[in-house]
Structure 1
Amino acid sequence: MKKSIYILSFAFLLLLLGCKESVRIDLVDESKPAPVALDEVMVKSILGGAVLKYQIPNDKNLLCIKAVYEISPGHVYETKSSVYVDSLVLKGFASSETTQVKVYSVGKNGKESKPLIVEVTPGTPVVEDVANTLFVRSAIGGVKLSYANLSGEDLIYDLIQEDIESNRWEVVKRFYSGLKTGEFTQRGMESKPTNIGVLISDRWGNISDTIKQTITPVFEEEVPKPWSHKEMVGDSWKEGVPGLTIDKMWDGRWDVDALFLWASSKSTKFPQSFTIDLKCEVEITRIVEHQRPVYAYLDTSVKEFELFGTTLDNPNPDTNSDDWIKLGRFSSFQPSGLTGSPTKEDFQYGNVEGENFEFLDENGDPKPTPPVRYLRWRTYETWDGQTEMGEVIIAELEVYGKILKK
């Protein structure tokens, strides 16, 4: 009986304690003055901004250092750094003109010191610096843009084209990138003189001057399908999974995994070859490979391969013979550069749009192949690193160029 009374009493005590209003323990001392202001700041100019270096004040009430600055007329920004960092990075300036920056010491109670006025001369604005490196050239079926972005800032590249009839400029493609070097290609353009332009913008609203140029895209057309498979001695084209036959590479589908693709046997040795009859003679400008859905730039998708071509109906199986022309050796490139961790953009390019492999001269200009009808593909490595034995998967192939005769 006593035991029951003790238990009930203890429970009642807990109930009373739970009903009491919780007490907040506030460690911020509102009565403390603002932290001491910085007395000296070293300034280093960077592209589109500056780095402020200083000695952190010895003040227990200090929460952070704050800089307030105007990146362009009417656009005020601020940036902060904790008490564990002795520098502030200012970005987004629209010009290289000297400007004043107010630097504050901010207390835990929100009080701010008097500002230290620092004069800053930002480096060349990022959009302007990148615009100075932009190289625009005619490409196969369109235009190619290449650039250098030393800052590594995320930028938008708008490709615009003039409509001759309306005399208006319209955006035809928008590219996004934070890579320090790269290139973009827009295709599907007619092979005639075309006025195009490029504008570069950043997340602060800064926009470069328009870079305008007249280009004439190199003519190309898609080689029509269906093609056919040509059996050659030494090739390893047989499927490793029932139904995933070689003709799946030209069925016009690449959107469903384990269905619309070709897969070789896992026991096949490298290099692995297959031969395609395009059913017409073509001066090839580029090959497009759609990688496996979900597994673009991963697993058994092609990473390294060679291409050979011939017009002979019964060529020597040995590609070292004079019957074959070596068209080139190619490496698959992951746009994001994040090997092993493809992004959504990587999958979009590798599977949906298809990775382009162009035939170019030593200057990077289009150089179509000699006429070929039979195309021999030889895989040396897949994205999982296999170079001795393993499966190879290709979802779809496309061939572009100038068709000579059927």
Structure 2
Amino acid sequence: MKKIKNIFFTSIINLGLMMLNGCQSDMLNAPIENNTAKPDVVTNIKVENKSGAALLTYTLPSSEDLLYIKAEYEIRPGVKREAISTFYTNQLLVDGFHSTNEHMITLYAVSRSEIKSDPVKVTIKPLKSPIQRVFESLAIIPGFGGPNIKFENKDRAPVVIIPIIKESQGQIKSLEKIYTQTSSGNITLRGQEAIETNFGFTVSDKFGNFTDTVYKNITPYSEAKLDRTKFAEFPLPGDAALAYGTFVRYLWDGNYTGARWPCIFTTEAASTPQTITIDLGVTKALSRLIYFPRTEDGTNFYRRACMKTFEVWGTNNPSSNGSFDNWTLLASNTIVKPSGLPSGQETAEDKAYAEQGWSTEFEPGLPPFRYIRIKNLKNWENTFSIMGTQIEVYGSK
């Protein structure tokens, strides 16, 4: 009998808890207040058309229980979108447009009881969208191992450049997409044969908008990694002094171990940018240099004398006095830590980016060179010394 009573009381308690939880859930999902009166509408609406968007400025209604302003609109036929702004501000951004046609925006004031005001309609006319601006900036030329693509993204909008190949029978072959939010880019799509190919490029955004596709017939240059066994030190007057008994030639000895020692290490006392000069042993049209940074503790790459901002120069006739006469600037590069975290903090993405090597692209079409000179303008401690594990140099076959 006692056991039956316990079961009965336990059931009653569980039922009570379920009812309480249900009430709490209903309370959480219910409007903040229970006022059925409509709020007043927004007034004095002003429109500032922007790239693929518009900024609306207005006078808020005086309704005491106002919670937010909602905009309802279509970014293209059949694709609806909403934007919300709290009562703490009198501005609301409507975005996601690709077309520069006029678009109707419907605005509502919404109360704490989730009651909408009467609708107020306003017309906007967005400026050229970010993806269209990127698309129109595309410059596509033959590169080493594939097409070289340059672009500008002045809005710094997150965009996707979608490359394809249109094959002879009309089939479409997809290539690796380029995701970017940088203000400009210079990218080569490698892995393609050195034969004439019909490449196509489209740009899209997170709203599902797409530009037209531009096609261009391109014959990529062949590319190969230069034979490191032919590299040699070629010190010139003014080149960096080596510290700790190290040598420049450590940069091509094949040891990619991140925490290796010894490795190249130039003097830490330098007060001006440091340079090192290398004889590649062959004269080639150069496509890129990959620099592999070093970590002293096995953890942090973005520190001490690993190069951050540097230049790569080329020549076939090095100046005997160590000046940059007769040298051609191949490229400048500033390494950006993917996470953006301060010194001493690195994510798995940061480490992976360092371990694969920091690549510096050279402009296609430059003349062939035999000698390169690396000029370190700033390391991760904002000084000029250089350390690293390896370099790889690529160029024409």
Bucket of the pairwise TM-score, normalised by the shorter protein: 0.7 to 0.9
Paired residue secondary structure (2:244): coil
CA distance in 2, matches of 1:37, 1:120: 19
The equivalent residue for 2:94 is: 90
- Asked if 1 retains the 8 angstrom alpha-carbon contact of 2:159 and 2:203, the reply is yes
CA distance in 2, matches of 1:336, 1:162: 36
The equivalent residue for 1:366 is: 365
- Asked if 2 retains the 8 angstrom alpha-carbon contact of 1:156 and 1:174, the reply is yes
Q: Deviations over 1:102-161 (max 9, x none)?
A: 111111121111111222323333322321222212223322222223333211111112
Does residue 301 (structure 1) correspond to residue 306 (structure 2)? The answer is yes
Does residue 204 (structure 1) correspond to residue 207 (structure 2)? The answer is yes
Alignment CA distance shift 1:350-1:329 (3 Å): farther
Q: Deviations over 1:324-353 (max 9, x none)?
A: 952437532236899775887776655515
RMSD: 3.7
The TM-score normalised by the length of structure 1 is 0.75
Matching residue within 381, 388, 392 for 1:394: 388
1:265-284 pair list within 5 angstroms: 265=266, 267=268, 269=270, 271-284=273-286
The equivalent residue for 2:265 is: 264
Q: Deviations over 1:172-198 (max 9, x none)?
A: 221111223333221233332221111
- Asked if 2 retains the 8 angstrom alpha-carbon contact of 1:334 and 1:346, the reply is no
CA distance in 1, matches of 2:240, 2:154: 45
CA distance in 2, matches of 1:123, 1:30: 42
CA distance in 2, matches of 1:197, 1:336: 31
The TM-score normalised by the length of structure 2 is 0.77
Structure 2: gaps (5+ residues): 1-19
The equivalent residue for 1:240 is: 244
CA distance in 2, matches of 1:357, 1:174: 19
1:112-131 pair list within 5 angstroms: 112-131=116-135
The equivalent residue for 1:195 is: 198
The equivalent residue for 1:167 is: 170
Corresponding letter in the other structure for 1:304: F
CA distance in 2, matches of 1:176, 1:343: 20
**Is the deviation greater in 276-285 or in 67-76?**
276-285
CA distance in 2, matches of 1:223, 1:285: 10
Paired residue secondary structure (1:119): strand
Matching residue within 288, 291, 310 for 2:290: 288
**Is the deviation greater in 209-218 or in 115-124?**
115-124
The equivalent residue for 2:251 is: 249
CA distance in 2, matches of 1:368, 1:349: 30
- Asked if 2 retains the 8 angstrom alpha-carbon contact of 1:261 and 1:292, the reply is no
How far 1:272 sits from its partner (Å)? 4.2
Paired residue secondary structure (1:59): coil
Structure 1: gaps (5+ residues): 1-20
The equivalent residue for 1:326 is: 327
- Asked if 1 retains the 8 angstrom alpha-carbon contact of 2:312 and 2:330, the reply is yes
Aligned residues: 364
Does residue 215 (structure 1) correspond to residue 221 (structure 2)? The answer is no
- Asked if 1 retains the 8 angstrom alpha-carbon contact of 2:306 and 2:379, the reply is yes
